[in-house]
Structure 1
Amino acid sequence: MSEWKARRFWKAADVAEQGNGYTVLLDGREVKTPAKSPLILPSRALALQIASEWDAQDGVIDPLSMPHTRTANSAIDKVTPQHAEVADLLADYGDSDLLCYRAESPTELVERQQEAWDPMLDWAAQTLGARLHPRAGVIHQSQDPEAVAVLTRRVRDLSAFELAAFHDLVSLTGSLVLGFAAFLDAAPINRVWEISRIDETWQQEQWGVDDDAMDVAGRKSVAFQHAKHFADLTRAVS
C-alpha cells in the first residue's frame, strides 16, 4: 500500500495581519503549524516568503521545498517553549569557539587562521563587548567567564524566530562569533562561510577533494544561506 501524501487543496495563498504580526491564508483559512499553533509571523516580508512557498506547491505537497515554512514552524513549536534552553545551548559555543582553537603547524595553516580569525575575534571584542582568546591545540581551555556571560545575554535577547535562524548560523560554523558576524552583517555571508571552513579547505588542498565531503559541505552551505535569509526576513521592517 502506498503512503498517503497531502495534496494541494487551495487555490490562493495570501498574507494578512494578525494581532501584532502576520499570517498566511489558504483560501481565507489560516495556516497552522504541525503542533496546530497559529502561524503568526513577525514581519510581512517573512509572511510573503512563506506564502510564496505554499503558492508554489503543485499537486503533492513537498515540505523540503518549503524551508522558510519549516523554520517558522520550528520557531513556534520547538524554540518558543524552550527558548532559554536553546539560547544557552548556543551560548555554550562561546566557551569553545572554533576561532579560538588554532593549529600549531604547519606555518601556512597557522597564518591562514590568524589572518582570517583574529579580525573576527577583534570584531567580537569591539562590537559584542566580549574578548575571546585563541589557544594552540585542541584541548579545551575555558574563556573569560565575563566574556561568555556577555555573549550569553546577547543570545538570550534574541526572539524565538531569530534564535531559530541563529541556531544554524552557529551550529553549521561551530562558532558563536561567526554566527553573530553573519547575523549582524559583519562580513558578506559567503565570506563568513569561507572563514568557517579554513581547516577543511586546507585539507582539500593537501589531500584532494572528497566527493562525499563536498556534497555534505554543499548542503550545509545552502542551509547556512537559508538561515541568514530567514534571519533577515524576520527583522525586515514591514
Structure 2
Amino acid sequence: MSHIPPLDPNVAARKGFKESEERIKRFWKAADVAETEDGWAVQLDGRTPKTPVHRKLVLPTETAAKLVADEWAAQGEFLDAGTMPATRLASTAIDRVVEVMEAVADEITAYAGNDLTCYLAEAPRSLIERQEREWGQWRNWAEQTHGIRLVPVQGIIHQTQDQASLDKVKVLALSLDHFQLSGLAMAVPLLGSAILGLALQQGELDGATAYDLSRLDEAFTEERWGADEEATLRAAAQRAETVMLEQWFKALR
C-alpha cells in the first residue's frame, strides 16, 4: 500500500512542476470498493489510496464510494483531474471540511443572508414575473418545510433577513455529516443560493433544474439576444457540476 501516492491529481501542479512532470501515470489496473469497519473504501488493485493529507479514502455508503471508484476506473493512461469531481469532493470532505464544519456552516448561512432568490429584477415585468414564480416557490418551500423565511426585494439594495431564519439555515447545515456538508458548500456558491442548495441536497430539486433556476437572468437575456460561445461553455461546465452534486447527494442517502 505504501507505493500508492497521495490521492490528489493536482498535487504536482501545486508544487510548480512542469507540465510533463505534473502528469500522474495510471498505476493501477482495477478500481473497486470494499466494506471496512469505518465505511466503504475505494480500492485500487485491492489497496485503499490516500487523500492529500494521507487519510484513507473511505466514504459512508457503498454508492458514494462507487461514484469515486468509477472516476478512477474511467481514467486513461494519465490522470485527468477535470474528470474526477467526486474524488476531489471526497478528499475535501475528509481532509478539510471535517475540521472546520462550523466555519463552513457560517459561510452557507452568509449566502442565505444574500440569497439569489431574494433579489428580483426591477424590469422588465416579464422577468420579474418569472423570478417571482420560479424563485418564490422555493422560498415558500424553505419557509413551510424548515421555517426559513427570506424576504424578497426588487433591485440590488441589500435586504436584511431575519436572524432567526438564518440561524435555522446554520442548524440545518450543521446537522449534516462532513460529506453532505462538503457537497452543500460546493452547491451554494455555485447556485448563489442557500435555498436552492438545500433543496438540491435534500432531493427536492434535480441538478439541472437547480442550475436553470440559478441563472434565470442569464437565460432571459440569452432568449432575446443570444449567447456567446464562452458563456455557453461556462454554463455547460457549471451545469455538469450541479448534476454531479445531485448524484453525490443521492449516493450519500
Q: TM-score range with shorter-chain normalisation?
A: over 0.9
Partner of 1:153: 171
In the alignment, residue 125 of structure 1 is paired with which amino acid? Answer: E
Normalised by the size of structure 2, how large is the TM-score? 0.87
TM-score, normalised via structure 1 length? 0.93
Shift in Å, 1:198? 0.9
> What pairs up with 1:81-160 in 2 under 5 angstroms?
81-160=99-178
The CA deviation string for residues 21-57 of structure 1, in whole angstroms up to 9 with x for no partner, is: 1112222221110111111111011112222222222
CA distance in 2, matches of 1:62, 1:211: 24
For residues 193-218 of structure 1, give each alpha carbon's deviation from its aligned partner in whole angstroms, at most 9, with x where no partner exists.
22211111112123321221111111
Q: Distance in 1 between matches of 2:184 and 2:110?
A: 13
Pick closer, same or farther for the CA change 1:56–1:151 going to 2, 3 Å.
same
Amino acid at match of 1:161: F
Q: Distance in 2 between matches of 1:52 and 1:116?
A: 35
The match for 1:77 is: 95
Preserved contact between residue 71 and residue 84 of structure 2 (Cα < 8 Å): yes
Read off the aligned partner of 1:211 and give its amino acid letter: E
- Provide the C-alpha distance between the structure 1 equivalents of 2:216 and 2:163, rounded to a whole number of angstroms: 27
| Partner SS for 2:100 | helix
1:96-120 Cα shifts (integer Å, max 9, x gaps): 1011111122111111111111111
User: d(CA) in 2 for partners of 1:68 and 1:158?
Assistant: 18
Displacement after TM superposition at 1:161 (Å): 0.6
CA contact (8 A) 1:168 1:224 kept: no
> Per chain length, whose mean CA-contact separation is higher, i.e. which structure has more relative contact order (CA < 8 Å, sep 6+)?
1
Matches within 5 A, 1:18-29: 18-29=36-47
Match of 1:170 in 2: 188
**In the alignment, is residue 58 of structure 1 matched against residue 76 of structure 2?**
yes
Query: What's 2:52 paired with?
Result: 34
> Residue 226 of structure 2 aligns with which residue?
208
Aligned partner letter, 2:64:
L
**Alpha-carbon deviation of 1:132?**
0.8
SS at match of 1:22: strand
- CA-based RMSD of the aligned residues comes to 1.6
State the 1:4 CA deviation.
Answer: 5.2
Q: Given the alignment of the two structures, is residue 199 of structure 1 paired with residue 217 of structure 2, yes or no?
A: yes
Deviations 1:152-188 (A, max 9, x none): 1101211111011112221111011111111122234
Structure-2 separation of matches of 1:56 and 1:219: 19
Q: Contact (CA 8 Å) 2:53, 2:95: kept in 1 or not? A: yes
* More deviation, 10-19/34-43: 10-19
The percent of aligned pairs where both chains have the same amino acid is: 39
